[in-house]
Amino acid sequence: MKAPKNRRVFVIGYGVATPLGSTFEKTWKEAVRAKAGFRKVTRCQVDSLSNVVGEIPDWTPMSLDFVSRKEVYNWNADYVILTMAVCHEALERSGLQITQETGPRMACLIGSALNGTDSFRIAMDNLVNRGPLKVSPYLLPNLCANVPSGKAGIHSGFTGPIFSPQGACASGNYAIGIGARMIRDGDCDFALAGGVDMCIMPEIIHGFANMNATIKIVEKDRAYHDPTQASRPFSIDRKGMVISEGGGVLVLAAEEFLSVYGLTPKAEVLGVGWTSDAYHFTLPNPATVVRAIREAIDDAQIAPVDIQYVNAHGTSTPKGDKTEIECLRTVFGKRQLEKIQISSNKSQIGHTLGGSAAIEAALSIEGMQQDIILPTVNHIPDPEFADIDVVPNEARKQGYEIFLSNAFGFGGTNCCVVFRGV
């Protein structure tokens, strides 16, 4: 194999769809206003106290000008069309044109935690109620994890490597890390990297509820009359996460091609750290989480003191939030951690599973561009975190140049990425 080229890798654009809006612009506008995008589920019917979710509010695939009615019908795994949409937006915002020169050198890595679960659900219903001939011939492609990247390639015209990093709720960071390494080593010059999940289905909602991962909203809970308060990371009354639809994609580029194609860098991918827990299928292992954070900082060739902001995994679960803060205290030390702002975008958009890390990276990079730290909304202080600045309830006008993005997932998967502003 050829020796790696050791190139620097930059973020030149991004696209997202979240419960705050179907585009990055719409999401950012609501995020800086400290809004949260939660409501009682409308996509399906559930008999559960975990009935508050994050739904993309204006998501209508048929409104996209690059898909037909037939295509929407055949590709009934919603993550396929959503991947096409966020990749389309990311490329438009990046300014990179897919041409005969750039297309073969563009990779696409889109992770997902659940893939085409909704398509399988439709097929099962058709099989049971309408017979075997009514199972769609598109079922298997809808289930293939790499197909959304392939469909994005068909739409945009790139022919570089495509695959789907499967890291559960850390999938987006894995995609960013692998994409950056591929560019660094010379396997490609550009990459679309991120994650997408469309998870609002009865089985998924009930499954999360039955494993006590999502918040159960009883009449006395403050989210009972105001669903937007359901996700509350680091708050004393946090009770579980809110699952959400969404996706995010970053466009990565090798440094040498920025001037060639007139591209504007927004951030540099500085370092990646990834570990596994060998511990439990849902509970985090503090030792390996700490190692992932330290390896990301070491890979970035900086010191812990250089980190100015942490975009926390922060899912609003009692144990998960506590463990993450304990791990950060171990890495940075209590005194240094008091100087670092730590916030959770999941307080505003919920947990978009495989889509979360890339969405959060995009929001944090935009924050660097605009000198804004997005808040942890719905916050009621927890004395256990009295030393932590979680940027409570309001966006803060404050610059930062280097940040750490944490992502952890079921199965014991941890991936942390360090970005630097430009």
Average pLDDT over residues 159-168: 96
In 3D, which of 165, 11, 149, 27 has the Cα closest to residue 88? 149
Q: What is the pLDDT of residue 300?
A: 98
Q: Tell me which amino acid residue 45 is.
A: Q
Query: Does pLDDT of 214 surpass 90?
Result: yes
Cβ partners under 8 Å of residue 313, min gap 6: 169, 320, 324, 344, 346, 406, 407, 408
Q: What is the pLDDT of residue 44?
A: 95
Q: What ranges in 235-317 are assigned the alpha helix state H?
A: 286-299
| Rounded distance between C-alpha atoms, residue 31 and residue 309, angstroms | 17
Q: What ranges in 95-241 are assigned the alpha helix state H?
A: 117-130, 139-143, 147-156, 171-185, 202-210
CATH class of the domain whose range is 270-421: alpha beta
| Rounded distance between C-alpha atoms, residue 400 and residue 280, angstroms | 35
| Rounded distance between C-alpha atoms, residue 415 and residue 172, angstroms | 9
Q: What angle do CA 219, 222, 227 make, to 5 degrees?
A: 90
Reported for 121-124, long-range contacts at CB under 8 A and 24+ positions apart, including other chains, are: 121/201, 121/203, 122/76
Q: Which residue of the set 351, 379, 415, 416 is catalytic?
A: 351
In 3D, which of 182, 186, 166, 183 has the Cα closest to residue 174? 166
Query: Does pLDDT of 4 surpass 90?
Result: no
Average pLDDT over residues 388-411: 98
Q: Any idea which of 2-6, 135-139, 307-311, 353-357 has the lowest mean pLDDT?
A: 2-6
| Rounded distance between C-alpha atoms, residue 402 and residue 198, angstroms | 31
Q: How many CB atoms lie within 10 A of CB 131?
A: 9
Are 112 and 69 in contact, with CB atoms under 8 Å apart? no
Confidence of residue 38 (pLDDT cuts 50, 70, 90): very high
Average pLDDT over residues 337-342: 97
Instruction: Domain 10-257: give its CATH superfamily.
Output: Thiolase/Chalcone synthase (3.40.47.10)
Q: Given its phi and psi angles, is residue 391 left (phi above 0), alpha (psi -120 to 50 degrees) or beta? A: left
Are 10-257 and 270-421 the same fold in CATH? yes
Confidence of residue 58 (pLDDT cuts 50, 70, 90): confident
Query: Does pLDDT of 236 surpass 90?
Result: yes
Q: What separation, in Å, do the N-terminal and C-terminal C-alpha atoms of the chain show?
A: 33
Cβ partners under 8 Å of residue 178, min gap 6: 109, 165, 193
pLDDT in tens, 80-122: 999 999 999 999 999 999 999 999 999 999 999 999 999 999 9
Q: Which residue of the set 169, 199, 327, 415 is catalytic?
A: 169
Q: What is the pLDDT of residue 3?
A: 84
Average pLDDT, the chain: 97
Q: What is the pLDDT of residue 113?
A: 96
Average pLDDT over residues 286-304: 98
pLDDT in tens, 252-293: 999 999 999 999 999 999 999 999 999 999 999 999 999 999
Q: What is the pLDDT of residue 362?
A: 98
Q: What is the pLDDT of residue 2?
A: 83
Residue 169 bears catalytic tag? yes
Q: What is the pLDDT of residue 48?
A: 96
Domain boundaries, the chain: 10-257, 270-421
Tell me the longest C-alpha to C-alpha distance in the chain. 65
Q: What is the pLDDT of residue 1?
A: 84
Q: Which residue of the set 108, 313, 379, 415 is catalytic?
A: 313
